[in-house]
Amino acid sequence: MRKITIAVLALASTPALADVDFFVGPRSLASNPAAEDLLGYAVAAAEGPAGSRIAVVGALAGFAAIGTMLPGEDQFILGQQLSSGVSGDVFGLAVAIGGPDGSVIAVGAPEDDTFFLNSGKVYLYRRASPGGSFTLQTSIDPPMPVNVGNFGTSVALSADGTRLVVGEPKAQQSMVERGAVHIYDISGAIGAPQTLADGITVGGRFGQSVALDNNRLVVGAPTTDDAMMVDQTGALMAYQDVGGTFVADGAPLFAADRATGDRLGLAVAING
């Protein structure tokens, strides 16, 4: 078993503080900022062409801004804006970027009502050449839409841009809310996903957060109760790609010092 590093957010009452200095550069603003845009609700970044960096920044007002940081600079300049054009779908709540030179972007709109109230949708964008504009490739609907399933609450892309992971934390199995995660091969025509439906407890929000790195996947379930019924302590599930299929890599992970309401797994990141 290969060692991995996972970063997890929990709403603990006494957060740990690390003795690390970070440089805070200039602020990056949308080209047409407005009150209550909530720009920065979600952020993802990748290596861009010719040593640049590219970022996608979600705003709960319903858009995602594309930013570029040139070599030697310390600020992302935000330019192109992506939008679904659908009011109230919270497009931009989740964003991801991957592919060579940051050429693929995914944006979640978990309150899209195409099928049912807040059943959700994900939009996939690509650009044909480095430095070019992003254009919509397709939109992806939940494989089994349900009322308030919130498909697109979380999204992740593989570094090579061939895989997309989508969280649907209120998905149902047999009319019971357990959450789900859907893994798509987006290297060509997009077909049916592999669906992970491993919610540990009813209402545990499995899929609230996802993180993907190479052949490793981590899923957060922040309102999960543990076996001793510690309420909403939260949990993680780790997966490994085995021959093109993701399988569980061990039992659910709980914090050793867990407490009621920690909500471990509200956000996750993985490296390794």
Buried b (16+ CB within 10 A) or exposed e, 99-134: bebbbbbbbbbbbbeebeebbbbbbbbbbeeeeeeb
pTM: 0.89
Q: What pLDDT is attached to residue 7? A: 54
The CB density around residue 43, as the number of other CB atoms within 10 Å, is 15
Taking 60 as the threshold, does the pLDDT of residue 12 lie above it?
no
Confidence of residue 31 (pLDDT cuts 50, 70, 90): low
pLDDT score, position 36: 76
CATH of 38-197, one of 2.70.98.60, 2.130.10.130, 3.30.450.40, 3.10.20.30: 2.130.10.130
pLDDT 10s digits, 223-256: 998 877 778 899 999 999 999 999 999 999 999 8
- The tokens for 195 are 């669906």
Cβ pair 223, 234 in contact under 8 A: yes
User: Domain map of the chain by residue range?
Assistant: 38-197, 206-272
- φ/ψ of residue 165, rounded to 5: -115, 135
Q: What's the rounded Cα separation, in Å, for the pair 139 and 235?
A: 30
Average pLDDT over residues 41-49: 96
Structure tokens at 54: 């590219």
Q: In this predicted model, what pLDDT tens digit does every residue of 141-152 receive, in sequence order?
A: 999 999 999 999
| Residue pair 189/137 in contact by the 8 Å Cβ criterion | no
Report how far Cα 16 is from the mean position of its chain's Cα atoms: 24
For residues 47 and 102, is the Cβ–Cβ distance under 8 A? yes
* Spatial CA neighbour of 196 closest among 173, 224, 223, 227: 173
